């Protein structure tokens, strides 16, 4: 089994974390957008999360 690619995401509460799975699924013929429901490790709740650019995140800090 190869190494898994990780995606850096930001949840609706603003927490930034990486995840091994961030599926880009489709509903019917159209995409549902870049966001997904994923369990945030910081607030331990299912939250809407979107991918973030790592370089842009580092510039904000």
Higher model confidence: residue 55 or residue 39?
Answer: 39
In sequence order, the 6+-apart residues with CB closer than 8 A to the CB of 37 are 46, 47, 48, 49
Work out how many domains the chain is built from and give that number: 1
pLDDT tens digits for range 26-53: 555 555 566 788 889 999 998 888 888 7
Whether 2 is in a domain gets the answer no
Share of the chain above pLDDT 70, in %: 57
pTM of the model: 0.63
Whether 15 is in a domain gets the answer yes
Whether 1 is in a domain gets the answer no
10 CB neighbour count, 10 Å cutoff: 18
Rounded CA-CA distance 42/48 in Å is 13
pLDDT category of residue 20 using cuts at 50, 70 and 90: confident
Domain that holds residue 55: 7-22+33-60
Whether 53 is in a domain gets the answer yes
Whether 18 is in a domain gets the answer yes
Whether 37 is in a domain gets the answer yes
* Average pLDDT over every residue of 9-28: 77
Q: What is the pLDDT of residue 4?
A: 66
Residue 57's φ and ψ, nearest 5 degrees, are -65, -40
């Amino acid at each position: 089994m190869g190494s898994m690619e990780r995606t850096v995401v930001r949840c609706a509460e603003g927490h930034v974390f990486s995840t091994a799975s961030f599926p880009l699924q489709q509903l019917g013929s159209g995409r549902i957008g870049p966001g997904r429901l994923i369990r945030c490790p910081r607030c331990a709740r299912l939250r809407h999360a979107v991918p973030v650019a790592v370089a842009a995140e580092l510039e904000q800090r």
